[in-house]
Every structure is written in C-alpha cells, then in structure tokens.
A and B are shown apart, each in its own frame.
Chain A
Amino acid sequence: MDSLSTGSLSGGDAKTTIMNQVRQEAAVANAKALIEKVNEHCFERCVPKPSTSLSRSEEGCYSACMEKYMAAWNAVSKQYVSRMQREQSSAGFIGGGSL
C-alpha cells in the first residue's frame, strides 16, 4: 500500500521503506528455502538415474512433485501453527499439556 518510489525520504517514508525491504527479503529467503527443498526432494524422487536429458515422464513427475511438496508444506504449516496456538492457550507454554 505504500509506494517505495518517493523522492525525498521523510521519517515515515524511511520507516516504511525499511519495513518493505525487510518483508521482501524475508519473502525471498522463504522462497529460496522452498525452491531448494523442492529441488532436493524432487530430483531424488523423479530423476533416479540421470540420462542425457530429462524425459517427458521425469518432467511430469517434477511438476506433480512440486505441487505435492507445496501441499505438504501447507499441511505442515497449518498443523504447526495450530499446535503452537494450542500450546500457548494451554496453561504451561513448553512443559504443559499431556504428552
């Protein structure tokens, strides 16, 4: 909502500029981590024996694998966040709750 391209930076603009930059770097780092993991897993699964080029089926496997990895990421994310919320709302933060 705030534009980055202002001529002179007043206090507020410097603040939003920094915030936007931090947000963007966080998003890039997150995307990088995801891409790295997708490549690692999908190469392992889809290209067991690398030949001279990627075959049609390897490419198909890759796109399914990517989609699947992201679905898995989302499932983990949902579960992790809900677990955190459950733990925070239960009495003890770390030791609390039944194991």
Chain B
Amino acid sequence: MDRSIGSSGNLDMSSLSDSDKRELQQFVMQEAQKATIQQSIHSLTDMCFKKCIGKISSGKLDKYEEPCMQNCVERFMDASHLVLKQLENMRTSS
C-alpha cells in the first residue's frame, strides 16, 4: 500500500460530507490494522515454514507439520510477551 490514494487524481474529495469523511477515516484505520495483522502473518509464516517444513513431497501439511506451525505461532507470541515482561521487570527493579 505504498501508493497514495489520490494517485488517480480524479476524485473530488470536497464532495464528501463530514460523516463520509469520518466513515472513511475509520475504514482506512481498519484496513491499516488488517494490513498490519497480515504483515505479522507473513513474517510468522516465513519463520515457521523454515522451522517446521521438512521435505516438500506433497502440497499438504503432514501430521507433524501442521501442529508444528501452530505451536510455532503460539510459542513465538509467548516469547514476545516474555520479552515485554522481562523489560517491565527491569524497569520496575531499577
């Protein structure tokens, strides 16, 4: 989403009512949030694919790979929370 919305240049923004503008702002924020989530999913998939996927013999995830991918997501999130917790501890103990 690196191109600006106005790139088409033919949109008359002045015709938007205030409620339209508010709605749009909310919509764009939601989309941005969705994009952030998708970005996290991309980087998690990238990381976990490396760790979990062995031989590429079929297109399906096998019975080890599927739970490995799930655990990988869960443990990564645990670990990132752990970092926050540790930092919090460091902050309060100093």
Residues of A near any B CB (own CB < 8 A): 9-12, 14-15, 17-19, 21-23, 25-26, 29-30, 33-34, 37, 40-42, 45-46, 61, 63-69, 71-73, 75-77, 79-81, 83-84, 94-95, 97, 99
Known pairs A76-B73, A99-B78 / 4 extra A-B pairs, C-beta < 8 Å: A11-B17, A30-B35, A41-B46, A64-B59
From A15, A40, A95, residue with most partner B Cβ within 10 Å: A15
- A-B pairs with beta carbons under 8 Å apart, 14 shown: A9-B11, A9-B15, A14-B15, A22-B5, A34-B42, A42-B56, A45-B56, A68-B60, A69-B45, A72-B61, A76-B48, A76-B69, A80-B44, A80-B73
Q: Report the minimal beta-carbon distance from B76 to chain A, rounded to whole angstroms.
A: 9
* Complex-state Cα separation, A25 to B32, whole angstroms: 11
B56 engages A15 (CB within 8 Å): no
* Complex-state Cα separation, A42 to B56, whole angstroms: 9
- Given A9-B15, A46-B56, A83-B77: A15 touches B24 (CB 8 Å cut-off): yes
